[in-house]
C-alpha cells in the first residue's frame, strides 16, 4: 500500500496493515497496525480513546502479591544479588534467579548506584530488591494510585518528564512499547542518564514469532502496545535520541509459543485454560513446553527471538 501515512521512525510510505483483537482478556475489538516495509517497525494506526479500559485492575503490573510470597521472593532476590542465605538458596532453586540480577550484572550496576525503573507499575520487581543491598532505587509510573515506599525503595506516581536528577542505571522493563512518542521519551531518558551510566530498554521485538503468528502473536498485545520495534527501527530511534546501542541480548522465552498458540485458538492469557494459570488443564503437555523452551533458546542465538534487552549509552 502506498499512501500519505508514513512510518513514524523512518518516514517510509511503504507499509502493509494488519488488524488484531485484544486477546489477553478476550475483550476483542479491531485494532489496525502498520508494518513498515523498510525498517520493519510495527505501530498502532490510531490509539483508542478509551485506552484505560484495556488496563483493568487485574492487569499484571498493578497486582499486589501476598505477604508470604513477597517475603520469599525478597529472600530469593537478595540471594541472586549476592546475599547468601539458606532460604534464599532454596527459593532460587525453586523459582529460578531474580532476572534483575542478570541485567544488573550485565550493566555493571553497583550497590550504591542511583537506579531508576520507568513504568514500574506497583513495583513488584523493585520491592523484591529491598534486602538486596541497593541504597538508591526509585520506580516511577504515572498510572499507579499513589506513592509507595518499601525500605530504600521509593515508588512514585510520576512520569519520566517530571524528573531532572541524574541516574547511573535506568531500566524500562516492557513499559517502553506502551508509550507515545518513543523518540521523545528516549531523548528525555538520555538527559537523565549520568555520564558512564546505562539505559536498559527491554521490549518485544519483531522476530520469527511475529512472522509465524501475525495477529495472534502474543507480543503484539493489541491495543496496549502502541508499537513494536524491529532491531533496525530501534537502532534508528536510538540514534535520533543521541544514544548508542552498547549491547543487545535476545531473551525471548517459551511464552512466545504457548501464549500465541493459545491466541490462535481464542484462549485468553487470563483464562482458566491458560498454561500459566493451569498447566494441567491447558492444551499443552510437558514435552511441548520443553520443545518451546529449546526453540526459544535457538531463536535467541540466531537473534530472531521476540524479546530483546537493549543496553544503551549516551553519545
Shortest Cβ 247–Zn ion spacing (Å): 23
- Number of amino acids touching Zn ion (CB under 5 A): 8
- Euclidean distance between CA atoms 272 and 275, whole angstroms: 8
Span from 34-42, 52-60, 128-136, 257-265 in contact with Zn ion (CB under 5 A):
34-42
Considering beta carbons, is residue 16 or 273 the nearer one to Zn ion? 16
Q: Does 183 bind Zn ion (CB under 5 A)?
A: no
Considering beta carbons, is residue 42 or 124 the nearer one to Zn ion? 42
Q: Does 10 bind Zn ion (CB under 5 A)?
A: yes
Pick the binder of Zn ion from 39, 163, 218, 222 (CB under 5 A).
Answer: 39
Shortest Cβ 183–Zn ion spacing (Å): 13
Using alpha carbons, select from 143, 137, 169 the residue that is nearest to residue 157. 143
Using alpha carbons, select from 135, 206, 140 the residue that is nearest to residue 172. 140
| H/E stretch holding 138 | strand 136-140
Cis peptide before 223 (omega within 30 of 0): yes
Shortest Cβ 233–Zn ion spacing (Å): 6
Q: Does 41 bind Zn ion (CB under 5 A)?
A: yes
| b/e per residue 204-221 (b: at least 16 CB within 10 A) | bbbbbbbeebebbbbbbb
Collapse the DSSP code of 290 into the 3-class scheme (helix H, G, I; strand E, B; otherwise coil) and give the result: helix
Considering beta carbons, is residue 12 or 285 the nearer one to Zn ion? 12
Q: Does 12 bind Zn ion (CB under 5 A)?
A: yes
Pick the binder of Zn ion from 20, 36, 91, 299 (CB under 5 A).
Answer: 36
- Please state, as a whole number, how many other Cβ atoms lie within 10 Å of the Cβ of residue 50: 8
Collapse the DSSP code of 259 into the 3-class scheme (helix H, G, I; strand E, B; otherwise coil) and give the result: helix
Q: How many residues does the chain have?
A: 315
Considering beta carbons, is residue 10 or 90 the nearer one to Zn ion? 10
Shortest Cβ 41–Zn ion spacing (Å): 5
Instruction: By CB under 5 A, name the binding residues for Zn ion.
Output: 7, 9-10, 12, 36, 38-39, 41
Amino acid at each position: 500500500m502506498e499512501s500519505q501515512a508514513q512510518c513514524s521512525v523512518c518516514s517510509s510510505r511503504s507499509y502493509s496493515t494488519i488488524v488484531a483483537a485484544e486477546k489477553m482478556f478476550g475483550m476483542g475489538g479491531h485494532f489496525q497496525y502498520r508494518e513498515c516495509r523498510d525498517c520493519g517497525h510495527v505501530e498502532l494506526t490510531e490509539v483508542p480513546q478509551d485506552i484505560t479500559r484495556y488496563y483493568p485492575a487485574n492487569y499484571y503490573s498493578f497486582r499486589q502479591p501476598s505477604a508470604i510470597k513477597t517475603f520469599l521472593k525478597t529472600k530469593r532476590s537478595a540471594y541472586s544479588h549476592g546475599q547468601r542465605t539458606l532460604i534464599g538458596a532454596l527459593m532460587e532453586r525453586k523459582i529460578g534467579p531474580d532476572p534483575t540480577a542478570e541485567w544488573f550484572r550485565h550493566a555493571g550496576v553497583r550497590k550504591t548506584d542511583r537506579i531508576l525503573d520507568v513504568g514500574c507499575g506497583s513495583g513488584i520487581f523493585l520491592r523484591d530488591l529491598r534486602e538486596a543491598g541497593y541504597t538508591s532505587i526509585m520506580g516511577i509510573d504515572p498510572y499507579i494510585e499513589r506513592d509507595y515506599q518499601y525500605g530504600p525503595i521509593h515508588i512514585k506516581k510520576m512520569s519520566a518528564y517530571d524528573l531532572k536528577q541524574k541516574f547511573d542505571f535506568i531500566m524500562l522493563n516492557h513499559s517502553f512499547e506502551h508509550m507515545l512518542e518513543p523518540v521523545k521519551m528516549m531523548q528525555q531518558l538520555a538527559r537523565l542518564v549520568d555520564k558512564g551510566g546505562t539505559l536498559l530498554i527491554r521490549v518485544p521485538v519483531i522476530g520469527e514469532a511475529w512472522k509465524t503468528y501475525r495477529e495472534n502473536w502474543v507480543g503484539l498485545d493489541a491495543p496496549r502496545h502502541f508499537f513494536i520495534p524491529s532491531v533496525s527501527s530501534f537502532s534508528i530511534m536510538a540514534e535520533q535520541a543521541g544514544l548508542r546501542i552498547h549491547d543487545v541480548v535476545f531473551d525471548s522465552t517459551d511464552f512466545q509459543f504457548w501464549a500465541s498458540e493459545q491466541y490462535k485458538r481464542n484462549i485468553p492469557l487470563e483464562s482458566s485454560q491458560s498454561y500459566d494459570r493451569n498447566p494441567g488443564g491447558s492444551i499443552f503437555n510437558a514435552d511441548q513446553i520443553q520443545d518451546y523452551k529449546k526453540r526459544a533458546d535457538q531463536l535467541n542465538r540466531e537473534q530472531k527471538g521476540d524479546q530483546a534487552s537493549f543496553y544503551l549509552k549516551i553519545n
